């Protein structure tokens, strides 16, 4: 046997042994999430049964076993809207963040698939058997396991989750355009699992440190929405800045909210502009320009206007940031966020808080603060806390404004102070300067909830004694 033949045999043996080892390794290293025998299994626990055959799974990693996977589906007909069953939920409790209004999310908890609301944007499942105290032997067999479901955007389709009366978990896929159809989806839902709920969420989501935090996070500021609503004027802005400065709480930023923009209807004539702008709650109007409206214009006094009040705020009152909200009202029929993407250097990153967040890592995390709605106060804080579990992984949540002279002033003031987000009124941020300690806030948020039937906040019995 020649040396060449000997070397060839050795190389062949090494290759065969390597393939065997790789096969053995793939058999012994089990992914955290997988679909087998029409079951969705996470760390050895079955959480979905009767998974349809047209539900397709693919790995969340191209380099080996991963802690997550993608789900898609193959359907018979093209359509602009599909609702696909993912299987029947089994032995879990859930926390869901769902759209309860067109713009905002709230939370819901339960232990049956039928209770998962429509338009669920984030779903966290917890197995009901096991213990938090048992050490993880590698597969979580005796531990409580958490599973994160993240609906995604695939092409022109957006995904969300919902439950069915049969306790099935369903995936809704919608393009919003009857002409935009499809029948095959590969990565519409991401699933990640682990024994630490916070670590599992972090592993599943792009973190906020990849985005830039705006400077206002570190400053005290003033948003004028709850002060003036749409009746904001230059004189009112000056009076407010004077009051804050003389009270010893000068703001470093301010947000002039709705009420300064040029607005109009589709068939509106120019001579109707002033009348429409003066209406307290205009209906079916749209943003017609970024120029200030007649309330900030005065032909006889050129100093009156948005540019003037911005200069006064910065030069006289020392404000570092002044933001003008472009379109933050539900009565507008078009969204002006596209302006922020086409001219980001002009409009900075205030789009913010409410609608979009490609430019910044700051986002409004809940429905508005309603100072005159007593049912909303506990709901507001609870929704912020639970929405933060989801949003806080990839954005810096903004907890909205509050009133410093209000029956629930302390309740609303302390929450944003420990949230890490911007603080809007009469309270300094509570700073934590030690790496391994934190500030813990405990709030009683019982007594009221959003009613999906009545479509409003309602009081309810909690069963607790005074």
pLDDT per residue over 111-124, tens digit each?
999 999 999 999 99
The DSSP secondary structure of 111-136, one letter per residue, reads SSGGGSPTTEEEEEEEESSSBSSSPP
Average pLDDT, the chain: 75
Give DSSP secondary structure letters for 156-209: TEEEEEEE-TTSEEEEEEE-S-TT--EEEEEEEEEEEEESSHHHHHHHHS--GG
Between CA 221 and CA 422 the distance in angstroms is: 8
In the chain, the percentage of residues whose pLDDT exceeds 70 is: 68
The Cα 227–Cα 169 span in angstroms is 43
Q: What is the pLDDT of residue 273?
A: 53
Model confidence at 53, pLDDT cuts 50, 70, 90, reads very high
pLDDT at 399: 78
Q: Express each pLDDT in 129-158 by its tens digit.
A: 766 655 554 455 678 999 999 999 999 999
What is the distance of C-alpha 435 from the center of its chain? 26
At 312-350, the pLDDT tens digits run 888 888 888 777 765 333 323 233 344 444 444 334 333
The yes-or-no verdict on residue 351 having pLDDT over 60 is no
Give, for 89, the enclosing helix (H) or strand (E): strand 81-89
* More confident of the two residues 308 and 355: 308
Q: How confident is the model at residue 358 (pLDDT cuts 50, 70, 90)?
A: low
Per-residue pLDDT tens digits for 207-249: 555 566 667 777 788 887 767 777 888 888 888 899 888 888 8
Nearest-angstrom CA–CA distance, 181 and 198: 36
**Listed residue (235, 226, 154) closest to 190, CA to CA:** 154
Distance separating alpha carbons of residues 335 and 327, to the nearest angstrom: 6
pLDDT at 187: 92
**Domains of the chain and any CATH numbers:** 31-205 (no CATH), 215-459 (3.20.20)
Segment of 3-17, 81-95, 253-267, 388-402 carrying the highest mean pLDDT: 81-95
The pLDDT value recorded for residue 119 is: 94
């Amino acid at each position: 046997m020649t040396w060449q033949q000997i070397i060839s045999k050795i190389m062949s043996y090494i290759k065969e042994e390597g393939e065997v080892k790789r096969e053995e390794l793939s058999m012994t290293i089990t992914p955290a999430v997988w679909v087998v025998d029409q079951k969705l299994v996470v760390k050895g626990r079955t959480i979905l049964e009767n998974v349809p055959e047209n539900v397709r799974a693919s790995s969340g990693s191209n380099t080996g076993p991963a802690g997550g996977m993608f789900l898609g589906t193959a359907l018979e007909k093209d359509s602009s809207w599909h609702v696909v069953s993912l299987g029947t939920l089994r032995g879990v409790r859930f926390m869901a963040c769902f759209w309860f209004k067109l713009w905002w999310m709230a939370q819901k908890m339960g232990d049956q698939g039928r209770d998962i609301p429509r338009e669920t944007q984030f779903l966290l499942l917890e197995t009901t058997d096991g213990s938090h105290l048992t050490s993880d032997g590698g597969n979580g067999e005796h531990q409580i396991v958490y599973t994160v479901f993240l609906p995604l955007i695939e092409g022109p389709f957006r995904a969300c989750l919902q439950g069915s009366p049969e306790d099935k978990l369903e995936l809704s896929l919608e393009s919003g355009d009857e002409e935009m159809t499809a029948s095959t989806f590969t990565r519409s839902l991401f699933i990640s699992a682990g024994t630490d709920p916070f670590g599992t969420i972090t592993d599943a989501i792009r973190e906020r440190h990849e985005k830039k935090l705006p400077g206002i996070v570190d400053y005290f500021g003033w948003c004028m929405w709850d002060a003036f609503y749409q009746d904001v004027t230059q004189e009112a802005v000056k009076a407010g800045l004077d009051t804050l400065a003389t009270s010893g709480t000068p703001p470093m930023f301010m947000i002039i909210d709705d009420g300064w923009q040029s607005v109009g209807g589709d068939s509106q004539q120019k001579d109707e502009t002033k009348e429409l702008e003066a209406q307290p709650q205009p209906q079916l109007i749209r943003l017609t320009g970024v120029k200030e409206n007649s309330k900030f214009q005065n032909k006889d006094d050129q100093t009156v206007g948005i540019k003037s009040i911005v200069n006064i705020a910065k030069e006289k009152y020392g404000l570092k940031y002044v933001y003008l909200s472009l379109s933050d009202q539900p009565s507008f029929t078009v969204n002006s966020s596209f302006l922020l993407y086409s001219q980001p250097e002009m409009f900075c990153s205030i789009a913010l808080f409410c609608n979009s967040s490609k430019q910044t890592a700051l986002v409004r995390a809940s429905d508005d603060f309603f100072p005159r709605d007593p049912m909303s106060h506990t709901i507001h804080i609870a929704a912020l806390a639970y929405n933060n579990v989801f949003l806080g992984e990839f954005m810096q949540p903004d907890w909205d404004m509050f009133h410093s002279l209000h029956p629930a002033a302390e309740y609303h003031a302390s929450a944003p102070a420990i949230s890490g987000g911007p603080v809007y009124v009469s309270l300094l941020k509570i700073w934590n300067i030690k790496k391994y300690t934190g500030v813990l806030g405990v709030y009683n948020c019982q007594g009221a909830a959003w009613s999906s039937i009545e479509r409003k906040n309602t009081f309810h019995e909690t069963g607790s004694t005074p």
